[in-house]
Amino acid sequence: AQSVAQPEDQVNVAEGNPLTVKCTYSVSGNPYLFWYVQYPNRGLQFLLKYITGDNLVKGSYGFEAEFNKSQTSFHLKKPSALVSDSALYFCAVYAGNNRKLIWGLGTSLAVNP
């Protein structure tokens, strides 16, 4: 079955430290991978995507993600966290000819001042 896993419900990091939010996937065919962020009482906002090409993808607000085919992972990273990065982060994947995005359950990121 095709799936996306975000193994951590919550990630805590101090402001200024690097952050990583993990995502692994299981799909048939080539994956198309996305990260979205949700701030409180708001809809989801697109951060970045991997379709093809360079495995390191840069996105909005200084975030980046690395596609690792052998580990079937697409972890979200940022070199220096801000308190304003505190939000809910979702990983999602399209697989094969399925036009339906498969979503992870989300990871709550808390950046402490």
Partner 1 sequence: DAGVIQSPRHEVTEMGQEVTLRCKPISGHNSLFWYRQTMMRGLELLIYFNNNVPIDDSGMPEDRFSAKMPNASFSTLKIQPSEPRDSAVYFCASSWDRSPMNTEAFFGQGTRLTVV
User: Which DSSP state fits 15?
Assistant: T
Of 31 and 81, the one with the shorter C-beta distance to partner 1 is 31
Which of 11, 106, 107, 109 is close enough to bind partner 1 by CB under 8 A?
Answer: 106
Whole-angstrom CA distances from 64 to 44, 67, 75 are 17, 10, 8
Of 56 and 105, the one with the shorter C-beta distance to partner 1 is 105
Q: Which stretch binds partner 1 (CB under 8 A): 15-23, 39-47, 66-74, 76-84?
A: 39-47
Question: Is 32 near partner 1 (CB under 8 A)?
Answer: yes
Whole-angstrom CA distances from 83 to 16, 32, 109, 111 are 9, 29, 10, 5
Residue pair 23/102 in contact (Cβ under 8 Å)? The answer is no
Tell me the C-alpha distance between 82 and 55, whole Å: 25
Q: Return the residues of window 42-101 that contact partner 1 according to CB under 8 A.
A: 42-46, 49, 51, 90, 94, 99-101
Judged by the rule CB under 8 A, the positions of this chain that interact with partner 1 are: 32, 34, 36, 41-46, 49, 51, 90, 94, 99-101, 103-106
